[in-house]
Structure 1
Amino acid sequence: MELEGTAESETGTRADVDAGAGDEVLAKAIMSRRFSPSLITTEVWEGYNFADVGIRIKESTDIYGAVLWPSALVLCYFLDTHHDEYNLLDKNVIEIGAGTGLVTIVTSLLGAVVTSTDLPDVLSNLQYNVSRNTRGRCRHVPRVTELTWGQELEERFPRVSCHFDYIMAADVVYGHPYLNELMDTFEHLCQEGTVILWAMRFRLAPENSFVERFEARFHLEELYDLPSLCIKLYRATKKRPISQLSFGAAA
Structure 2
Amino acid sequence: VSFCQDLEQNREHVDLLDKAVLELGAGTGLVSIVATSLGTSHLFFPRCRYTPQVVALVWGQDVKRDFLSTIYNYDYVLCADVVYHHNFVEDLLITMQYFCKPGTTLLWANKTHWLSLFHLQWVRFQSYLRFIENFKNVFNVTLLKEIPQEEIRIYQATDLKK
Query: Which runs of no fewer than 5 residues in structure 2 stay unpaired?
Result: 115-124
State the 1:142 CA deviation. 2.5
1-structure distance, mates of 2:57, 2:85: 19
8 Å CA contact 2:23, 2:79 repeated in 1: yes
Structure 1: 5+ residue stretches without partners:
1-72, 116-130, 242-251
Runs (4+) off by over 4 Å: none
Q: CA deviation at 1:75?
A: 1.4
Please point out which of 25, 30, 44 is paired with 1:97.
Answer: 25
- Partner Cα separation in structure 1 for residue 51 and residue 28 of structure 2: 17
**Number of equivalences:** 151
Q: Distance in 2 between matches of 1:226 and 1:138?
A: 29
Q: Which moved more, 1:152-161 or 1:169-178?
A: 152-161
Pair member with larger Rg:
1
Corresponding residue number in structure 2 for 1:149: 59
1:196 aligns with 2:106: yes
Q: Residues of 1 paired with 2:85 and 2:29: CA distance? A: 21
Task: State the identity %.
Answer: 36
Among 222, 232, 236, which residue is 2:153 paired with? 232
The one-letter code sitting in structure 1 at the alignment partner of 2:36 is: S
Does residue 6 of structure 2 align to residue 78 of structure 1? Answer: yes
TM (norm. structure 1) is 0.57
Please list the CA deviations of residues 86-130 of structure 1 after superposition, one character each: whole Å capped at 9, or x if unmatched: 211110000012521111011111111116xxxxxxxxxxxxxxx
Q: CA RMSD in A?
A: 1.7
Matches within 5 A, 1:106-125: 106-114=34-42
Structure with greater contact order relative to length (CA < 8 Å, sep ≥ 6) = 2
2:120 corresponds to which residue? none
Using the alignment, how far apart are the partners of 1:140 and 1:98 within structure 2?
A: 23
Report the TM-score, using the length of structure 2 for normalisation.
0.86
Structure-2 change in CA distance of 1:170 and 1:102 (3 Å): same
Quote the residue 1:206 is aligned against: 127
CA distance in 2, matches of 1:176, 1:205: 9
Structure-1 separation of matches of 2:83 and 2:42: 21
Give the structure with the higher percent helix. 2
Query: Aligned match of 2:91 in 181, 184, 189?
Result: 181
